[in-house]
Structure 1
């Protein structure tokens, strides 16, 4: 275990980070992921982004010059030091349980000409009629493929808004009671966040894209039809048991070609509805003890 990964064994530190997410909606942790592997992801990502830009044009698929791209679930995207990182998984397990699920691998990239997004949540409340919020049930783990700065489209967040109804949170933001804060991250940093918090993307004013990866984790009982990870059996068989268990509710395909025929298309439910996924569960997962 690398020296920096010793944090994964510090139970008190893990609980502090999880409590920070519960209290503020997020925890920013420095130097978690290997920078050389982040740079390799960026290298293989650029052709995927270029193809999406070619198809979508300047209109983008997340607003002007902003692109949501789902990478194929194969190396280097399946590197367990990234998708099953000890530090990340210790905190995620504290928040949504060690029996949770890994259900999303995607990217969001503002390019030059992008605009401010509307302030929004990435999911609805579990029980909106109750007008109260619950403990965490759905998390996003974000990490950039390039260093973020004030000019290249950093994420903006609003602390503790996951504890409020959306309407009350927006009212307090509008009044200035709750600040809107930029999140500046370096390669290797990770942001673990409760997706109910109010946030937005900002304009990228540079001539270089700013890719941000999102790993989605949920409690085991939460079905998210708008996202899935399409897993080829040959990839699944190469993964450690813990990784396979976190993937257990995703569809399994006999070949990489079958797995990559259809990209997941995620639409934020609170903004524009959602598309139904296949919902298939591969029998491969049933073999695991």
Structure 2
């Protein structure tokens, strides 16, 4: 499997149309299980430090991490589908600006419909998407586990009366509920979306958490890196192939420092975990 095996028109059509596409079986179940083990350790560590895990609603957390915190980062960054999607939508000079994970625990409730950040002028007036969010589940997802729900095509919605330009008014909820699609991927599947496509996490009525890795990628015209602090130790940097290091925004450090997460609006609007 190589980058050229994936059709640019299909990628562009999906992301500019529905605003989300996926690739089944991108990774093995064994690979995904290892990722889940890493996330489980990181989640418990984050819960022990101030601002380590930020609330994204009742019983729901987001944790931003460093690339070298997970053993499989390079595998993810060089996967041919990931590279093909980034090059197709964002161009050859795309940059990875964020890596983290969401953990909806048992008892998590429906989130309000939202987009992850305000739509930039490139999208509102230029009709151009300049950022992407990849999602990779670490468990098989079933309907009672609070699956991710998305309203296709809404990345183009103008933020009229949106709170903080991210949260649409409740009078618009019927529009999103009419379009809503629940996503129930299996271990090894990966998806990518415009973070502007209106979406929400749904209620987790099961006894199992639903961790999902998040990888944020920007085109040169986007500025989401300003909200993150992607750190790389010099030792880890020396192990990275150019195919990865050339596509990272990073701060070189001798020792990784805790990340101070900047998600105040989401916490305010969705409630504490």
Q: Which has the higher contact order (CA 8 A, sep 6+)?
A: 2
Please tell me the TM-score bracket, short chain as reference. 0.7 to 0.9
Aligned-partner Cα distance in 1 for 2:185–2:199: 16
Q: Is the 8 A contact 2:148 2:200 kept in 1?
A: yes
In structure 2, the residue matched to 1:190 is 190
Deviation of the 1:28 alpha carbon:
1.6
> Conserved in 2, the CA contact under 8 Å of 1:31 and 1:189?
yes
CA distance in 1, matches of 2:235, 2:89: 31
* Contact 1:25 1:194 survives alignment (8 Å): yes
Q: What root-mean-square deviation, in Å, do the aligned CA atoms of Structure 1 and Structure 2 show? A: 2.8
Distance 2:54 2:266 in 1: 19
State the partner residue of 2:41: 47
C-alpha distance in structure 1 between counterparts of 2:27 and 2:121, whole Å: 35
Alpha-carbon contact 1:109-1:212 (below 8 Å) kept: yes
Q: TM (normalized to structure 1)?
A: 0.80
| Structure 1 residues 52 and 204: CA distance shift in structure 2, 3 A | farther
Q: Does 1:143 align with 2:136?
A: yes
Spell out, residue by residue over 1:139-198, the C-alpha distance to the aligned partner (whole angstroms, 9 max, x if none).
000010111111112100001001221339766542468411101111111111011100
In 1, distance between residues paired with 2:120 and 2:54? Answer: 30
Which whole-Å deviations, capped at 9, do the CAs of 1:246-266 have from their partners, x for residues lacking one?
11x32111x2xx22x222514
TM-score, normalised by the number of residues in structure 2: 0.85
CA 1:203–1:17: 2 relative to 1, 3 Å = same
- Relative to 1, partners in 2 of residues 1:194 and 1:238: Cα closer, same or farther, differing over 3 Å? same
Structure 1: runs of 5 or more not aligned: 274-289
Once the two structures are overlaid, the 10-residue window that deviates more, 186-195 or 168-177, is 168-177
Preserved CA contact (<8 Å) 2:124 2:156: no
Contact 2:98-2:228 within 8 A present in 1 as well: yes
1:263 partnered with 2:259: yes
Q: Determine the C-alpha separation between the residues in 1 that align with 2:138 and 2:81.
A: 19
Aligned position for 2:218: 218
Q: In structure 2, how many angstroms separate the alpha carbons of the residues matched to 1:30 and 1:84?
A: 17
Task: Indicate if the aligned counterparts of 1:133 and 1:163 stay in contact, CA closer than 8 A.
Answer: no
Cα 1:184–1:10 change in 2 (3 A) is same
Residue in 1 aligned with 2:15? 21
Where do residues 68-217 of structure 1 align in structure 2 (5 Å cutoff)? 68-74=62-68, 76-127=70-121, 132=125, 134-167=127-160, 173-175=173-175, 178-217=178-217
Residues in 2 aligned to 1:190 and 1:33: alpha-carbon distance in whole angstroms: 8
Structure 2 gaps of 5+ residues are 162-167
Deviations 1:75-112 (A, max 9, x none): 64453221221111111110011101100110001001
